[in-house]
């Protein structure tokens, strides 16, 4: 394992993720259960090193509830797009 990405996790956790990806048996629920013992900060670092960017929170600002809601939804959408990008990169790397 290298120092970045999955190398930042405990070896057992990394191996479970890699083996599941090689066998094409990973699901959201399986990844969630594998990463359950990993701290939230370590999960954020993992996402960031794999090409995404996970914010540490949202700033709630706006003139009214509608603006705040729109901003939160826009930020959530951006985070989901980043997760999709990381998932696509992982799929591409595993298929090569």
Domain that holds residue 86: 5-95
Q: Model's pTM, two decimal places? A: 0.50
Q: What is the 3-state secondary structure (H, E, C) of the chain?
A: CCCCHHHHCCHHHHHHHHHHHHCCCCCHHHHHHHHCCCCHHHHHHHHHHCCCCCCCCCCCCCCCHHHHHHHHHHHHHHHHHHHHHHHHHHHHHHHC
Number of domains in the chain: 1
C-alpha 25/C-alpha 68 separation (Å) is: 39
Is the pLDDT assigned to residue 13 strictly greater than 80? yes
Q: Which whole number is the average pLDDT over 5-14?
A: 82
Q: Which whole number is the average pLDDT over 73-80?
A: 87
pLDDT of residue 93: 80
CB-CB contact of 61 with 71 (8 Å)? yes
pLDDT of residue 51: 62
């Amino acid at each position: 394992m290298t120092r970045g990405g999955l190398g930042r996790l405990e070896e057992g956790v990394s191996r479970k993720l890699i083996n599941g990806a090689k066998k094409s048996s990973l699901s959201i629920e399986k990844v969630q259960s594998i990463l359950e013992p990993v701290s939230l900060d370590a999960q954020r670092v993992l996402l960031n090193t794999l090409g995404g960017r996970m914010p540490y929170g949202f700033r709630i600002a706006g003139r009214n509830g509608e603006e705040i809601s729109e901003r939160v939804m826009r930020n959530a959408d951006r985070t989901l797009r980043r997760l999709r990008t990381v998932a696509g990169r992982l799929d591409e790397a595993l298929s090569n």
